[in-house]
Chain A
């Protein structure tokens, strides 16, 4: 077992690129909402000098079509599945989690508490996690926005509310020092060295986002580079690097 490599939700469609999804240790779906969503009007993407902006607006089939059409197809890919769940009130998250609860082969549910491009639920992240927790026994990951005053306090609150893990963007070190749960880290990973840095900061898994757009072979490449970068520093398994930047 090494550091699992996932995709960031919304950065890969396993139905149009199954071989890319199968190169991951788990495939994370685009966020599923209660109703079908058309998404935002174009223009939706823009490149910056060092990254990209996007405003897709959670385009998706909604939970009904997801369960009847998309999920059965995803199962045939034989790759562990994470389902990203979104909504506009805590009850939305709870109702979708309840419908996913009996899907025993779903490895984890990721609660999208971080989409900047749609209206937010009025409840806090912890309240949403608590509502989802009451609705499902599936492992729950809370995906937290970095745009908050005190990310460590948010991390403690969602874990206290029942989150089994965190999905984080550029806030790994602060959260890894605050809570003792698995952390999927993402944001700016385009090569193995970047993934190793996130593991050293406390991540237990790494997700790929924008790099998938420029390089569909990134999962295998980053995995190999991560192993190489780890070995070159005397760690046979990149997991053994986890958190070493926290104590220094």
Chain B
């Protein structure tokens, strides 16, 4: 987690490497209760796994943040759970409809790990297909609420699936691994307790994605940090909300 740059030096812009383009919806694939939204890539760089894009939600005021799920040739694909007006609008968008997309943004996973193990829960598995592709068939342990949700595991090679009430932390293989995790906050905290060096991808409501709105803060060491510029992949565990 970086601090503000020293006086007199402007740090690297949070928009460095990012572009904003109007790109067409190529298609939607149903993956259990989720939708894989495929967009034309245009001139956008897919970035590092774990980085995210702000995707215009048709008819809504604010774009929505999504980590990249897959980077097929000429496309960017995002795994979306339709749970609110923005995600429902995206899942219901028309093929050929054009959307503004800004990215890649934020910090992704470090890929220089010796024994990667992906640990994910629910929609938190979204960055893993692209991550697994870049790491080269890393083993994965994925947890889901129901067998319907577990359909998303088909996007991740070499995945072991557990269903509630079994937790991913109860299914981790023995041995030393470099854990890369994404999922709900209680899962991330539990993973951090078992694997202190884990890379953890967090999530928060976000309006801008580039440090402007101060909406996406998480508390680390008693200070609120913006997840969009200091994350979303963190190497520290945020304080539990309500902690001193």
Contact between A16 and B7, CB atoms less than 8 A apart: no
B208 — which chain A residues lie within 8 A by C-beta?
Answer: 212-214, 216
Shortest C-beta distance, B238 to chain A (Å), equals 10
What B residues does A19 contact at CB under 8 A? 13, 15
Cα(A19)–Cα(B17), bound, Å: 13
A-B contact pairs, 25 of them (CB 8 A): A15-B4, A15-B11, A17-B13, A17-B14, A20-B15, A42-B215, A42-B218, A43-B205, A44-B215, A44-B217, A49-B85, A59-B214, A61-B4, A70-B4, A70-B7, A76-B10, A77-B10, A210-B62, A213-B62, A213-B63, A214-B54, A214-B61, A214-B62, A214-B207, A216-B102
A217 vs B210: C-alpha distance when bound (angstroms): 12
A75 nearest in chain B by CB position: B8
Q: How many A-B residue pairs have CB under 8 A?
A: 128
Q: Is A12 an interface residue (CB 8 A)?
A: yes
Collect the chain A residues with CB atoms within 8 Å of residue B212's CB. 11-13, 16-17, 20, 212-213, 216
Give chain A's interface residues, CB within 8 Å of chain B: 10-13, 15-20, 30, 38-39, 41-52, 54, 56, 59, 61, 68-70, 72-73, 76-77, 210, 212-217
- B158 on the A face (CB < 8 A): no
Write out the residue numbers on chain A whose beta carbons fall within 8 Å of the beta carbon of B86. 47
Q: Which of B5, B210, B214, B224 contacts A17 (CB 8 A)?
A: B210
Q: Are A68 and B7 in contact (CB under 8 A)?
A: yes
Majority DSSP secondary structure for residues of B touching A: loop
Complex alpha-carbon distance, A210 and B54, angstroms: 14
Chain B residue at minimum C-beta to C-beta distance from A212 = B212
State A18–B16 Cα separation when bound (angstroms). Answer: 10
Task: Name B215's closest neighbour in chain A (CB-CB).
Answer: A45
A5: shortest Cβ distance to chain B, in Å? 16
**Do A73 and B207 touch across chains, with their CB atoms under 8 A apart?**
no
Alpha-carbon distance between A39 and B239 when the two chains are bound, in angstroms: 15
Q: Are A215 and B13 within 8 A (Cβ)?
A: no
Chain B interface size range: 35 or more
Known pairs A17-B212, A76-B9. 18 more at Cβ < 8 A?
A11-B212, A11-B213, A13-B211, A15-B211, A19-B15, A42-B204, A42-B217, A42-B218, A44-B214, A45-B206, A50-B61, A69-B6, A72-B8, A210-B207, A213-B213, A215-B20, A216-B20, A217-B20
Report, nearest first, the 8 A-B pairs whose CB atoms are least far apart: A16-B211, A45-B215, A213-B208, A72-B7, A213-B207, A16-B14, A13-B211, A56-B214
Interface residue? B176 (CB, 8 A): no
B174-225 at interface with A (beta carbon < 8 Å)? 204-208, 210-215, 217-218, 222-224
**Separation of A20 and B15 alpha carbons in the complex (Å):** 9
Q: Are B215's CB and A38's CB within 8 A? A: no
B170 at the A interface (CB under 8 A): no
Most buried by B among A46, A69, A73, A216: A216
Chain B residues, CB < 8 A from A52:
61-62, 207
In the docked arrangement, what's the CA distance between A46 and B211, Å?
16
Say which residue of B8, B63, B218 sits within 8 Å of A73 (CB atoms): B8
